[in-house]
Every structure is written in structure tokens, then in C-alpha cells.
């Protein structure tokens, strides 16, 4: 983004702070929406203050202060502020993208959290964000038009999601392939402003996908999918999230109702950033009793792990997840989501609540039936 | 300074980090109030801490800027002097009491209109709402005399009493609160109306830590009407009659594509097809009275030269919510062209057509395009003096420095013209209006300064904001 474009966006902000709360009418609930501002409290951590700090960076009036790292990177890039703001200010840029650009500028000046530097190193060395060196192998699958892009978190931290998705794909009867040597999509590097470091990954993945001949990529990680959509060139392949794919095949699947009272947490990448709200609900309505939290869909409270926050500001990430779990507990018995990052962070803060990815529940619904 | 303040509020709630301070350095009034950072931001958690901070600042003659929610749109919390303490009161966010019986609420500075409405709703009560976002401080708004509200029937003064800490640490309790903290429900206790004297001041006397305000009933029976007029003059008789007879809960006369976007809650409507001016009316009341008022209002509409407009139900619902349950979308004024500027005045309805002409003329004289010029009139009950809040609005691209200069010029020429034409008052004190006003108010200006000198001899309270 050019500085002038950013400045225009900054000058659009009237400092009304409506982006800090959910829509009031008609429910008349006054609920916080911005995790960063709510947690860190000072104005700099709300969107209007952060925009102001960006102005200072662009005008070279703000240097590397002690707190600048936290201001720039202590934001989950959840985009909730943008959902509110766009109704009011008709701003044309997206706040999450603006704040990502802010990071990119700081990275250019060598200002980034150590934890993010380390992730880049790990990705460089191992091809995955967690630095796992023991390669995970799967029964080689090289057939069909569909490629399941697993992503680092499902592969190395939340393998139940991956296993469930594979089981569901098999149950659907879909011919699909998996990349043996899957490389990180680069999401975490893009989100943390390290665009240059991500480029090599993009190229590697493009080559691998072209070689696979896939016509469709299916993701259980909305972060990966968003990265393919926004940061990759058009590969001429269809990009689908697991929930979209499953919803399309729901009638082909023999699933039964699990009888659970569940609530659904909209992952920011899936909902606000990709606009996918209905497919997860369609599935859940088929296999469970779905109850909505007050902060839902476009105005869902973030799980707290996005934007590199989990790695750099662990306490903030966990607090944010804890707030979500509290809300979920008031709503249902089981908390579901559709993103391995969300599951991981929410589970860590779950305080005894069961947390699942939707594909896990779908698999459970299959198993119960059989 | 940081060390001393840390002793008072603890490490977590004081910062002199220049990036954090920078985030308080500017609001949307940058064409008139240049950006300036405070030296530190401190967040007290109790009134005792507020008091200690004031004592420290007073002793060391450090400027203090009270900040409740910072959304005043007039640069009122932007420091004028170096080395200022920005007193961020956002941790003082308790609703101390909602008294259903007395129809009152007592709040701390960071309680917002949304928070208060969420709490009073179950009692079928509400505060008087400004046309400001629900995120603004109830206390700061009432204390600043934010009396131009969405419901004209609420009248003019909503503040019953407050508690203020002066720079020397003394605590003033106004009205009946002076006798008993348990009975803060009456404006006049003994002697002069101290609350009245200290209100409408941009944090220049001390820090208000608690304020008790009136609540008003929420009626289930409501009916919205939108009446179109081709000219401001055409609407005058109708507006006068319905307000004089006290028939309406809410009444605003707006041009057809500015504030009305907020009342309808959407940009996605063909506003051009509306007549140039629209009177937005809400009738409400208890069973019996509502029907009687409604009949009379319909009668007045029928007799007027206005056209009753057919507005979709969704937009009518939104108007009702904005008006009687808290304004959420008024900020859409930012979305029309990117920023909004207004001169807000009080004046009689009889002068309203003249204000509109003056507005158009001054804008043209300043080189502001005619399609940037908007108008907003809000009659205020009861209707003695035909009191109206009038807003002369310009919606403009805030990123355009050339337009910024033209708007500065607009202010410069418009302030004296309005004073010459006759106004009741400015909507609140802010940059630019004090200078042309002082020599017209005679000894009152001297007296005002002397009172302030008495309360704040070291000039630490938001100095530079008035004189
Ligand atoms: C789109 C829009 C429309 C608006 N329309 C209206 C309207 O119709 N009617 C209306 O009244 N207002 C309107 N406003 C302004 C809004 O109401 C003000 O923001 C509010 O009145 C006070 O601002 P604040 O609550 O953010 O206070 P702040 O910005 O925190 O403070 C405002 C002033 O009061 C002082 N102050 C703050 N707290 C204290 C305290 N505890 N003790 C002493 N001094 C203090 C500050 O130093 C400052 O000078 C509008 C604002 C917007 C953005
Ligand atoms: S909603 Fe938009 S205009 Fe309002 S404070 Fe937030 S970013 Fe600024
Ligand atoms: S992106 Fe999310 S965390 Fe960041 S400022 Fe916006 S609402 Fe707050």
C-alpha cells in the first residue's frame, strides 16, 4: 500500500470508537469487540489509536519506542474493527490489511518481535512454522482432482483435525491427494509483515501444486486458504474450505445427529476475511443442536491466536480465548470452530469445556453411525 | 514524573511511552487543533487516585487533561502545552446506581451511553441521548452540557448533581449531594447553582468523578413520521406547532442526505429522491396520550405544506432505535465524504431560515462547494424561546488540505456573522469561538476567568482550552 493510500484511510477515522463494540441495536447488549484494546486498555491498542500511531510511523514521528512492538504486533488482525467501521466511515481499505502493512514497514526497519524472527528461521530451516524436523509421512495419495492442503498446525499440532478430514474425504468417496512434502503456506510470515521471507514459500508451493495437477484445493486451515486467496497469484484452481466442501457433500454423507448442544466460534480468517459463515452452520445444524453466541458471524470475538499474537504475546492470546470460552459456556456445552489455530488456543483456555473442529464432529457423526 | 505517578496508580497504569502518548495526540478536528502528544498517560482506578494525581500535578504545576472517552470531536483533549498528563479515566467505568424509583442514574466518567442504556432498558428507562456515538461518556457529555439530544421532549438539562475534585484536592458536591451522598437527586441544594456554573467547561475546573442524571421513560407506543419540505421556511410553521403543543418525543429537521443517513442507518438508499428537507418526527407515549398526540400530529401534517413520505419499515425502525435507545449510526456523517465539520449553536426557530442562508453564504465565500453544505435543526422542549439546537454542517474529505484551509476560513468569517445575526449560545466552548465572543459578553468574561482562577490558581486544568 502506498503511504498516500494509508494516510487517506487514517484521515477517514473520526475516532468514534464504534469499532470497539458490537452493534448495539436491536439487542441492546454492549459487548466489547476489539481484543487488543480491551486487554491493553490504552487508546493506542484500539483501531483509532493504532491508526494514529501508523500516521506517526509514516511521518517518522514515532520511532522504536518500548511499546511500539506491542502496539504494532499485539493485534490479532481479526478485522472486527473493520466490519464495524466500514458501515460508518465507508473506508475503502481493510483495517487488518492496514495493520499488516504497518508491520511490513516496521519489518523493513528491523522492528519485529523475536518470536516472529524465530518463526521465519524455523520455516527456513524446516519448511514448517513449528520447526518440526521429523517429517510426517502419509500413505501416498496422488490421485484425483482434489488436493487436501493440510497446513502446519493441523499437521504438527492438531493432527486430529487432519485425521478427521482424511476420514471424511474418504467417507465422501472423494479421490484426493496430499503433498508428502508440504511447505508452510507463508500465512504467518505475511501476517507478521515478513512479506519478503514469505515469497520463497509461495514459489515452492506454486510449483508443488502445479506439479500435482490438482484442480481444487481443500483446506482445514482458513489461514492457509486466505493466504492462497490473497497473497498467491491466481493458480486457476478452486479453493475451498473444509466446511464448504463438506457442506457441498452433506447429502452424500451418512451422518447422524450427535445430540450435542454446541456453539460455533467463527474463525476470523474464515468469517470476516473469507466471508464463509453459512457452510459451518449448515453442517452443525445437521449433526448437533447449534446455539449462537451473542458475538457471532461478522461480530464474533476473536479466539486470540491470529496475527502472530499467540507466539509473541501468549498471555494476551490466552486471555482473549478465555473471554470467548466464557461466552461459549453461557451458550452451550461444546465449543466448535473450523480452524486449527482457534481450536488450539480455545482448547488451551477451555477450562474444562470440550472444544472441537467441525471436521472432528463430522467424523464422530460418521463413527457413531457405523 | 513517571516515578511519582507510578507510586499512585502502579506500574501498569502509567506510561510515558511516546508511541502510546502519540495515540492521544489528535482527534478528527485536526484542521483547528494541531496534534500534540501528552508527556504521559495515567489511568487512575479510584477517585482517591484521581485526587492524588491532581495534588501531585498541582504541586508541580503540571497540566492535566481529563479524558473520559476522548470522542468530543473538538480537540478538547488534545494538549496545548508541553509536559502534560493525560488523565485517562477509562477505568472509572462503574454505573454506581440506577434508581428506578427516582428515575435517575449515577455514573463514573467512562460509563458510555451504550453501557447505561443496556442497564436501564430493563426498567423501561433511558438517558437523554446526544446524536453522538453510543461509545461516548455519559458523564462528559452531560457535564459538557451536551444538551442537544435525540429526543426533544427530554428538554434541556439532565444533570442533577455531581462530585468534582479540584486541583487542590478539595471535593465539591453539587446540589442535594452536598447534604448527603445518598440523595444526589436534586439540582439545587443551598446557595448558587454550582453545577450550572462549572458545567460546559472542557475540563478546566477539576475532575468530575461521579454524576447523577435524569432518566426518562421508554414508551412502547411509538410512531415515526417523515415529512418532506422543499425549503426551510416551508417547514417552520409545522415545526413550531408540534413543538409548542408538546406533541412529539423527537423532532429534527434535516437536509435530505446528511444526518438522515445515520437516522436511517444506511448509505444504501436513494436520498436524492427525497424533498430537500425532511422533518423526522417521533410520537410516543402511554396508552391514551399516545393516540391523542398521534391524531393531533397527523392533523398538523395534513395542514402543513409538507409531504408525508413513505419510508421503508426497516429504516423507520432504525430511526426509532437511534432516537430513543441510543444513537449508533450518527457517525455515518464521517462516511459521507470522510470527515465532518460543524458549527453548533443555540437559537430560536424564528432565526433558523436566516442561519441556513448564512451557512450557505459563508460556505460559498470560503470556497466550499455547495454540495458539501448540510443542515440540522433540533427543537428542544419545552419550547420557551423557541429553543433549537442548530448545526451548520460541512461534510468533506478530511485528507484534502485545501478543503481544510477553506473550512478554517469558513469558521473565521462565520463566527462573527452568527453573533451579528443573533444566537442564544455556542453549543460548547472550543477552539475559535471564545475569541470573537469575549468582547461581546462584557464583564461576564472577567468573572468567568476569576472564578476559574479561584478554583485552579496554578492553571493546571486543561490549560489553553478556553483562554
Ligand atoms: C458523530 C458525532 C456526533 C455528535 N453529536 C453530538 C450531539 O448530538 N450532542 C452532543 O452533546 N454531543 C455530540 N457529539 C460529541 C459527543 O457527545 C462528545 O463526545 C461528548 O459530549 C463528550 O465527549 P467524550 O465523552 O468523549 O469526552 P472527552 O472527549 O473525554 O472529554 C470532553 C471534554 O470534557 C473534559 N472532561 C472529560 N472527562 C471529564 C471529567 N471527568 N471531568 C472534567 N472534565 C472532563 C475533557 O477534558 C474534554 O475537555 C458528537 C460526536 C460525534 C463523533
Ligand atoms: S469505527 Fe472507524 S472511524 Fe470509528 S474509531 Fe473505529 S476506525 Fe475510526
Ligand atoms: S484487528 Fe482486531 S485486535 Fe486489531 S484493532 Fe481491529 S478489532 Fe482490535
* Tens digits of residue pLDDT in B8-56: 999 999 999 999 999 999 999 999 999 999 999 999 999 999 999 999 9
Whether A72 is in a domain gets the answer yes
Search chain A and give the residue with CA nearest B341: A14
- How many alpha carbons fall within 13 Å on the CB side of residue B36? 19
| pLDDT of the residue at B145 | 81
Count Cβ atoms within 10 A of the Cβ of residue B361 and give its class: 0-12 exposed, 13-18 middle, 19 or more buried.
middle
How high is the pLDDT of residue A122? 94
ipTM for the complex?
0.96
Interface of A with B (CB under 8 A): 7-8, 11-18, 20-21, 23-26, 28-30, 41-44, 48-50, 52-53, 55-56, 61-63, 65-68, 71, 87-90
> Of the candidates A13, A44, A89, which has its C-beta nearest B19's C-beta?
A44
Please tell me whether residues A259 and A335 are part of one structural domain: yes
- Residue where a domain stops, chosen among A248, A264, A291: A248
DSSP B312-338: -HHHHHHHHHHHHS---SGGGHHHHHS
What's the rounded mean pLDDT across residues A320-335?
98
In this complex, which of A11, A44, A62 lies closest to B338 when CB atoms are compared?
A11
User: Which chain A residues touch B326 with a CB distance below 8 Å?
Assistant: 24-25, 28
User: pTM value?
Assistant: 0.96
**Ligand 2, closest atom to CA A89?**
3
Q: A258 with A324, same domain? A: yes
Q: How many residues are recorded in chain B? A: 467
Mean residue pLDDT across chain A: 95
Same domain, A277 and A244: no
The pLDDT value recorded for residue A370 is 45
| CA-based nearest residue to A348, from A310, A295, A312, A313 | A310
Is A137 domain-assigned?
Answer: no
CA distance A148 to A132: 20
Question: B95: helix, coil or strand?
Answer: strand
Q: pLDDT tens, B342-388?
A: 999 999 999 999 999 999 999 999 999 999 999 999 999 989 999 99
Has residue A129 got a pLDDT over 60?
A: yes
C-alpha to C-alpha distance for B232 and B290, rounded to whole angstroms = 28
Evaluate if residue A139 carries a pLDDT over 80: no
Query: Using a CB-CB distance cutoff of 8 angstroms, which residues of chain A are in contact with residue B134?
Result: 18, 21, 24, 30
Final residue belonging to a domain, choices A200, A231, A248: A248
Q: Where, residue-wise, is CATH 3.30.70.3450 in chain B?
A: 221-324
Under DSSP, the state recorded for B303 is H
A95 and A174 together in one domain: no
The CATH architecture to which B339-427 belongs is: 2-Layer Sandwich (3.30)
A71–B20 CB contact, under 8 Å: yes
What residues of B are in contact with residue A17 (Cβ under 8 Å)?
69-71, 133, 135
Query: Taking the CB of residue B337, how many other CB atoms lie within 10 A of it?
Result: 19
State whether A240 and A167 are in the same domain.
yes
B133 and chain A: CB distance < 8 Å anywhere?
yes
Ranges for all domains in chain B classified under CATH 3.30.465.10: 95-217
A368 falls in which pLDDT band (50, 70, 90)? Answer: low
Smallest CA–CA separation between A69 and chain B, in Å? 10
One domain, residues A226 and A298: no
Q: Which residues of chain B have pLDDT under 50?
A: none
Look at residue A323 and give its three-state secondary structure: helix
Is the CB of residue A79 below 6 angstroms from any atom belonging to ligand 3? yes
Query: Residue A339: left (phi > 0), alpha (psi -120 to 50), or beta?
Result: beta
> Which residues in chain A touch residue B33, judged by CB atoms under 8 angstroms apart?
none
Could you report the per-residue pLDDT of B409-441, keeping only the tens digit for each?
A: 999 999 999 999 999 999 888 878 998 999 899
Q: In this structure, how many other beta carbons lie within 10 angstroms of the beta carbon of residue B317?
A: 16
Q: Examine residue A317 and state whether it is found in any structural domain, yes or no.
A: yes
Number of compact structural domains in chain A:
3
Q: With the CA atoms of B132, B135, B140 and B143 taken in that order, what torsion angle do they form, in degrees rounded to the nearest 10?
A: 50
On whether residue A132 sits in a domain, the answer given is no
| Ligand 1 binding pocket, CB closer than 6 Å | A 14, 16; B 65-73, 76-77, 89, 109, 130-133, 136-137, 139-141, 144, 146, 148, 202-203, 207-208, 330-331, 333, 462
Residue corresponding to grid cell 501508523: A54
The reported pLDDT for the residue numbered A138 is 66
Q: Give start-end residues of each CATH 3.30.300.330 domain in chain B.
A: 339-427
Verify whether the Cβ–Cβ distance B23 to A12 is below 8 Å: no
Report how far ligand 3's centroid is from the alpha carbon of A104 (Å). Answer: 17
**Is the CATH code 3.30.565.10 the one for domain B95-217?**
no
pLDDT of residue B254: 96
Question: Are A23 and A84 in the same domain?
Answer: yes
Q: Hey, which CATH number is domain B221-324, 3.30.70.3450, 3.40.50.300, 3.40.50.1820, 3.90.1570.10?
A: 3.30.70.3450
Partner-chain contact B19 A7, CB within 8 Å: no
Q: Cβ of B18 under 8 Å from any chain A Cβ? A: yes
Which of A198, A230, A248 terminates a domain? The answer is A248
CATH of the domain at A346: 3.40.50
Residue at A334 is within a domain: yes
Q: Look at residue A131 and tell me if it is in a domain.
A: no
A235: domain CATH number?
3.40.50.1860
Rounded CA gap, B107 and B99, in Å?
11
pLDDT at A200 over 70: yes
Q: Does B135 touch chain A (CB under 8 A)?
A: yes
In the block, residue with C-alpha cell 458536591: B173
Q: With an 8 Å Cβ cutoff, are A44 and B321 in contact? A: no
Alpha-carbon distance A66 to A58, whole Å? 18
The answer to whether position A349 is within a domain reads yes
For residue B427 the three cell numbers come to 453549543
CATH code of the domain in which A25 resides: 1.10.1060
Q: Which three cell numbers stand for residue B19?
A: 508511541
Range of A180's domain? 146-248
Please judge whether A21 and B114 are an interchain contact, meaning their C-beta atoms are less than 8 angstroms apart.
yes
Supply B113's cell numbers.
Answer: 451511553
In a domain, A141, yes or no: no
Residues 6+ apart with CB under 8 A from A24: A30, B114, B117, B118, B134, B325, B326, B328
Amino acid at each position: 500500500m502506498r503511504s498516500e493510500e494509508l494516510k487517506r484511510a487514517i484521515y477517514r477515522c473520526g475516532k468514534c470508537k464504534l469499532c470497539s463494540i458490537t452493534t448495539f441495536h436491536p439487542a441492546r447488549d454492549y459487548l466489547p469487540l476489539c481484543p487488543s484494546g480491551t486487554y491493553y486498555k490504552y487508546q493506542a491498542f484500539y483501531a483509532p489509536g493504532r491508526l494514529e500511531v501508523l500516521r506517526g510511523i509514516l511521518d517518522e514521528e514515532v520511532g522504536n519506542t518500548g511499546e511500539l512492538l506491542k502496539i504494532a504486533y499485539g493485534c490479532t488482525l481479526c478485522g472486527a474493527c473493520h466490519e464495524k467501521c466500514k458501515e460508518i466511515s465507508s473506508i475503502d481499505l481493510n483495517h487488518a490489511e492496514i495493520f499488516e502493512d504497518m508491520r511490513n514497514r516496521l519489518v523493513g526497519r528491523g522492528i519485529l518481535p523475536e518470536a516472529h524472527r524465530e518463526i521465519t528461521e524455523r520455516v527456513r530451516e524446516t519448511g514448517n512454522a513449528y520447526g518440526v524436523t521429523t517429517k510426517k509421512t502419509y500413505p501416498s495419495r496422488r490421485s484425483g482432482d482434489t488436493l487436501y492442503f493440510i497446513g502446519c498446525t493441523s499437521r504438527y499440532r492438531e493432527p486430529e483435525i487432519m485425521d478427521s478430514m482424511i476420514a471424511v474425504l474418504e467417507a465422501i468417496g472423494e479421490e484426493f491427494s496430499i503433498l508428502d512434502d508440504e511447505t508452510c503456506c507463508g500465512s504467518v510470515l505475511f501476517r507478521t509483515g515478513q512479506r519478503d521471507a514469505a515469497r520463497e514459500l509461495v514459489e515452492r508451493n506454486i510449483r508443488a501444486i502445479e506439479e500435482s495437477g490438482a484442480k481444487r484445493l481443500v483446506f482445514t486451515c482458513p489461514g492457509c486458504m486466505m493466504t492462497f486467496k490473497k497473497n498467491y497469484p491466481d493458480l486457476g484452481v478452486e479453493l475451498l474450505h473444509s466446511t464448504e466442501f463438506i457442506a457441498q457433500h452433506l447429502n452424500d454423507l451418512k451422518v447422524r445427529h450427535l445430540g450435542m448442544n454446541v456453539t460455533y466460534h467463527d474463525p476470523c480468517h474464515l468469517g470476516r476475511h473469507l466471508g464463509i459463515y453459512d457452510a459451518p452452520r449448515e453442517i452443525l445444524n445437521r449433526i448437533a443442536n447449534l446455539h449462537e453466541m451473542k458475538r457471532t458471524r461478522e461480530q464474533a470475538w476473536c479466539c486470540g491466536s491470529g496475527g502472530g499474537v499467540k507466539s509473541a504475546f501468549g498471555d494476551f492470546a490466552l486471555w482473549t480465548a478465555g473471554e470467548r470460552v466464557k461466552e461459549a459456556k453461557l451458550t452451550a456445552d461444546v465449543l466448535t470452530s473450523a480452524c486449527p489455530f482457534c481450536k488450539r488456543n480455545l482448547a488451551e483456555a477451555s477450562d474444562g469445556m470440550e472444544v472441537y473442529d467441525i471436521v472432528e464432529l463430522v467424523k464422530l457423526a460418521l463413527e457413531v453411525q457405523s | 514524573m513517571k516515578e511519582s505517578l507510578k507510586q499512585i496508580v502502579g506500574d501498569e497504569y502509567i506510561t510515558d511511552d511516546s508511541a502510546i502518548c502519540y495515540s492521544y495526540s489528535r482527534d478528527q478536528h485536526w484542521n483547528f487543533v494541531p496534534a500534540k502528544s501528552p508527556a504521559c498517560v495515567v489511568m487512575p482506578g479510584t477517585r482517591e487516585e484521581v485526587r492524588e494525581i491532581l495534588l501531585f500535578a498541582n504541586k508541580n504545576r503540571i497540566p492535566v487533561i481529563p479524558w473520559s472517552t476522548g470522542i468530543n470531536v473538538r480537540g478538547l483533549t488534545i494538549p496545548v502545552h508541553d509536559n502534560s498528563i493525560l488523565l485517562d479515566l477509562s477505568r472509572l467505568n462503574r454505573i454506581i446506581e440506577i434508581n428506578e424509583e427516582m428515575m435517575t442514574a449515577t455514573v463514573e466518567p467512562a460509563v458510555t451511553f451504550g453501557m447505561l442504556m443496556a442497564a436501564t432498558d430493563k426498567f423501561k428507562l433511558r438517558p437523554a441521548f446526544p446524536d453522538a456515538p453510543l461509545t461516548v461518556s455519559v458523564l462528559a457529555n452531560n457535564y459538557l452540557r451536551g444538551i442537544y439530544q435525540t429526543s426533544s421532549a427530554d428538554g434541556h438539562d439532565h444533570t442533577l448533581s455531581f462530585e468534582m475534585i479540584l486541583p487542590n484536592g478539595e471535593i465539591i458536591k453539587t446540589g442535594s449531594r452536598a447534604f448527603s451522598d445518598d440523595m444526589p437527586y436534586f439540582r439545587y441544594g443551598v446557595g448558587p447553582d454550582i453545577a450550572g456554573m462549572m458545567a460546559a467547561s472542557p475540563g478546566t475546573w477539576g475532575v468530575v468523578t461521579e454524576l447523577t442524571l435524569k432518566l426518562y421513560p421508554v414508551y412502547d407506543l411509538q410512531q415515526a413520521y417523515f415529512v418532506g419540505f422543499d425549503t426551510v421556511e416551508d417547514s417552520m410553521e409545522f415545526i413550531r406547532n408540534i413543538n409548542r403543543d408538546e406533541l412529539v418525543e423527537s423532532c429534527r429537521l434535516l437536509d435530505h442526505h446528511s444526518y438522515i443517513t445515520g437516522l436511517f442507518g444506511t448509505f444504501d438508499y436513494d436520498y436524492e429522491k427525497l424533498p430537500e428537507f425532511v422533518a423526522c418526527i417521533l410520537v410516543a407515549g402511554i396508552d391514551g396520550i399516545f393516540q391523542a398526540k398521534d391524531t393531533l400530529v397527523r392533523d398538523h401534517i395534513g395542514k402543513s405544506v409538507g409531504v408525508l413520505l413513505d419510508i421503508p419499515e426497516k429504516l423507520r425502525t432504525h430511526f426509532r432505535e437511534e432516537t430513543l435507545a441510543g444513537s449508533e449510526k450518527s457517525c455515518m456523517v464521517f462516511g459521507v465524504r470522510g470527515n465532518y465539520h460543524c458549527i453548533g449553536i443555540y437559537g430560536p426557530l424564528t432565526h433558523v431560515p436566516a442561519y441556513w442562508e448564512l451557512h450557505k453564504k459563508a460556505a460559498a465565500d470560503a470556497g466550499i462547494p455547495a454540495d458539501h453544505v448540510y443542515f440540522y435543526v433540533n427543537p428542544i422542549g419545552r419550547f420557551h424561546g423557541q429553543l433549537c439546537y442548530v448545526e451548520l454542517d460541512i461534510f468533506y474529505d478530511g485528507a484534502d488540505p485545501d478543503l481544510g484551509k477553506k473550512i478554517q476560513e469558513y469558521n473565521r468569517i462565520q463566527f462573527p456573522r452568527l453573533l451579528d445575526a443573533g444566537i442564544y449560545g455556542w453549543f460548547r466552548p472550543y477552539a475559535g469561538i471564545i475569541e470573537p465572543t469575549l468582547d461581546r459578553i462584557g464583564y461576564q468574561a472577567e468573572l468567568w476567568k476569576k472564578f476559574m482562577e479561584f478554583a485552579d490558581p496554578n492553571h493546571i486544568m486543561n490549560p489553553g482550552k478556553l483562554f
